[in-house]
Structure 1
Amino acid sequence: MFGLSELAIILIVVIAVLAAKKLPELARSAGRSARILKAEAKTTNEDSGPSSRT
């Protein structure tokens, strides 16, 4: 029978193989979210104007 450490290694490998199909989609989604956040932060800074900065 398998021990706990062997089962953990097998589980990690199975999860990595199954998740590999989703990695490109997750990376695209993260990049899109970062661009949106950056654009919103830039818009917020432009809207507040230089008079509100100290």
Structure 2
Amino acid sequence: MTNRPLLSFARQYLLVVLAALAPVVLASFVATAEVHALRDQVAQHDATPRHMT
């Protein structure tokens, strides 16, 4: 069982990498949602006749 510390290190390394990537993934989802909301807003604005704006 000499690979036990290596396995522990690998698991800890994976955890650190995931913890570092989590905010990036979260921010990406938030940015995507904001872009979609803005796109819908622009589409709604473009759909309204000019005299109603």
Q: TM-score, normalised to structure 2's length?
A: 0.59
Are 2:43 and 1:43 equivalent residues in the alignment? no
Shift of 1:22: 1.3
Give the aligned length. Answer: 44
Single out whichever of 12-21 and 33-42 deviates more from structure 2.
12-21
Q: Percent identity?
A: 12
Q: Which runs of 5+ in 2 are unaligned?
A: 1-5, 49-53
Structure with max Cα Rg: 2
Give the aligned CA root-mean-square deviation in angstroms.
Answer: 2.7
2:23 to 9, 28, 32: 28
Q: Which runs of 5+ in 1 are unaligned?
A: 1-10
Q: TM-score, normalised to structure 1's length?
A: 0.58
More helix by share: 2
